[in-house]
Amino acid sequence: MSRAKNKRVLLRGWGRLPIQVPPQILEHQASLGPLPSLVWINLVALAQQKRSLQIDEIAEQMGLAKQEINQALALLADWGWINDEGLEIQLAIPLDLENQEEAAVTVENILDEEQASFEWLISYWSARIKAPSPKEMRKLFFWMEDKGLSHEVIAVAIEEMLVTAANASFPYLEGILRNWHSMGIRTYSDLLANPHLAKALAPVTAKKEDSPAEKRWREVFPDEFD
């Protein structure tokens, strides 16, 4: 059985396959990361097909948010896999590939932290409302990444919606987020400094001892109550 599992399987290519991928991207995809590697391969395909790059199009084809494509392109540029010359992007093979492994560890740690916050927010929305649609997930990611609102702030906005809205909906949530963003709210501490903005935090800001609401927020954001 073990011999069968380790058996090598021959691969036969598709004769009409028009795309040629340089071996360097395959050799360094582990350090570069799966998303930037796949974006780079898509760029290779576009170049060989003599097509221009459109962020919206490649995001739709890959099933990703535009922000994720932009982040991948920025990382590829930083590591020398593309040279952005304004109206033209030049694909390249970096000369210093050995040092990318160490750099990838730092980037991966940052992305892991952001990913963990985003996954926590998705779980929170699912628990309090329902499982979000792909479109709702992209919008939640937009408010975190593009607008800079912390996942804690968005969680409080979810609670605020449940307290104030007759019918909870994503547009209602975005109305709250848009209002808070315009007032400079970015972190949970910003909300605590402006208690009039969130009825859902009234028990917390009033510091009522043994309040059920306060206990809930202590469980959700323990660091804020140290």
Label residue 153 by pLDDT band (50, 70, 90).
very high
Determine phi and psi for 10, rounding to 5 degrees. Answer: -75, 145
Residues 141 and 205 grouped into a single domain: yes
With pLDDT > 90 as the criterion, what percentage of the chain qualifies? 15
Tell me the residue type at 123: S
Tell which residue, 85, 94, 87, has the closest CA to residue 40: 94
Instruction: Report whether pLDDT(223) > 50.
Output: yes
Per-residue confidence (pLDDT) for residue 224, from 0 to 100: 53
Query: For residue 74, what is the domain's CATH number?
Result: 1.10.10
- What tokens were used for 174? 């975005």
Range of the domain at 178: 108-225
| 158, 124 contact by CB (below 8 A) | yes
Tell which residue, 90, 81, 71, has the closest CA to residue 31: 81
What would the pLDDT profile of 197-211 be if each residue is shown by its tens digit? 888 887 655 554 444
Q: At which of 40, 63, 91 does a domain end?
A: 91
Per the domain annotation, does 102 fall within a domain?
Answer: no
Per the domain annotation, does 118 fall within a domain?
Answer: yes
Please state the separation of Cα 148 from the chain's center in Å.
Answer: 12
Average pLDDT of the segment spanning 162-173: 89
Per-residue confidence (pLDDT) for residue 204, from 0 to 100: 58
Cβ neighbours of residue 82 closer than 8 Å, sequence gap 6 or more:
40, 43, 73, 76, 89, 90, 91, 92
Label residue 154 by pLDDT band (50, 70, 90).
very high
Residue given tokens 């940052």 in the structure block: 110
With pLDDT > 70 as the criterion, what percentage of the chain qualifies? 71
Per-residue confidence (pLDDT) for residue 15, from 0 to 100: 56
What would the pLDDT profile of 3-58 be if each residue is shown by its tens digit? 445 556 655 555 566 678 888 888 888 877 888 889 888 888 888 877 878 888 88
Q: Residue 175: how many CA atoms within 13 Å on its side-chain side?
A: 9
Instruction: Report whether pLDDT(218) > 50.
Output: yes
Q: How many domains does the chain have?
A: 2
Average pLDDT of the segment spanning 143-172: 90
CA dihedral 123, 125, 127, 128 (to 10 degrees): 160
- What tokens were used for 27? 């050799």
Residues 38 and 127 grouped into a single domain: no
What would the pLDDT profile of 53-92 be if each residue is shown by its tens digit? 888 888 888 888 888 888 888 888 877 888 866 567 788 8
- What tokens were used for 160? 């605020």
**Mean pLDDT score of the chain:** 77
Per the domain annotation, does 62 fall within a domain?
Answer: yes
Per the domain annotation, does 101 fall within a domain?
Answer: no
